[in-house]
Amino acid sequence: MEAKSFDLNDVVEMKKQHPCGTNAWKVIRMGADIRIKCEGCGHSVLIPRREFEKKMKKVIVKSNSEQ
Ligand SMILES: [Zn+2]
């Protein structure tokens, strides 16, 4: 199975939207844990990478590193 590709500063859509009604999260920290920030209200959460990969639906906006 191919790993989902995402990068720092990408904006991603999750399977569940944030209670504020927004479903756009910016990846602001990469590592064993991923920190994402809600584009709607600015709330940020830290998620273990494995869990993030399960909950992430797709990348909406790629960061400027075009690969
Ligand atoms: Zn929010």
Distance in angstroms (rounded) separating the CA atoms of residues 35 and 29 = 5
3 CA from centroid of ligand 1 (Å): 26
Ligand 1 centroid to Cα of residue 63, in Å, is 20
According to the model, what pLDDT value does residue 3 have?
59
H-state helical runs in the chain: 49-55
Per-residue pLDDT at 65: 62
Could you tell me the distance, in angstroms and rounded to a whole number, from the CA of residue 1 to the centre of ligand 1?
Answer: 31
- The pLDDT of residue 43 is 98
Query: Which residues have CB less than 5 Å away from ligand 1 (the ion)?
Result: 18, 20, 22, 38, 40-41, 43
Answering whether pTM is above 0.85, one says: yes
- Give the C-alpha separation, 53 to 50, whole Å: 5
The pLDDT tens digits of the residues spanning 24-64 come to 999 999 999 999 999 999 999 999 999 999 999 999 999 97
How many C-beta atoms surround the C-beta of residue 6 within 10 A? 21
Gap between the Cα atoms of 40 and 2, Å rounded: 30
**Encoded tokens for 46:** 């830290």
